[in-house]
Amino acid sequence: REAAQASFQAALAYDPGADTARLTYIGFLLDGNKIADAETEFGLLSPRATQEDAYAALQTRLEAMKGVGDLPDGAELKARVAANPADLPARLDLAHLLIARREYEAALEQLLEIVRSDRGFEDDVGRKTMLS
């Protein structure tokens, strides 16, 4: 893992404007739970990086991972949703936790249920998160 990180850093030092490589590196950092480093790398992307396919997905994943520390554990969130399917804040928290764990299908199910229940919930956050 350290050798791969060194290779990424060398490639980016050689060509700092290589947004595709930097986005791949950000994914690598997130896989290693290096949230602060990934956030720093996001700050080094050029404005055109927002057009890259991976940009929105990585940004959503980063935000989800940053917020996971403040969330109850997955079992508690699943129990809250099972006890009260209309608990949209719990569904959203569960979706964020699932995104951080890269369990995208399960996260999409929670987000879709939010959209079905209340499209306007938190300014249409269910739909917006699905699209990112």
Predicted confidence at residue 63, as pLDDT, reads 86
pLDDT interval class at 67 (50, 70, 90) = confident
Please state whether the predicted TM-score (pTM) of the whole model is above 0.85.
Answer: no
Domain spans of the chain, in order of start? 2-54, 74-131
Yes or no: say if 70 and 50 are a contact pair by the CB < 8 Å rule: no
Yes or no: say if 112 and 126 are a contact pair by the CB < 8 Å rule: yes
- Cβ-based neighbour number of residue 19 at 10 Å: 20
> Average model confidence (pLDDT) for the chain?
92
Predicted confidence at residue 101, as pLDDT, reads 85
User: Can you tell me the mean pLDDT for 37-43?
Assistant: 95
Predicted confidence at residue 66, as pLDDT, reads 86
Pick from 19, 20, 18, 42: nearest CA to 30: 42
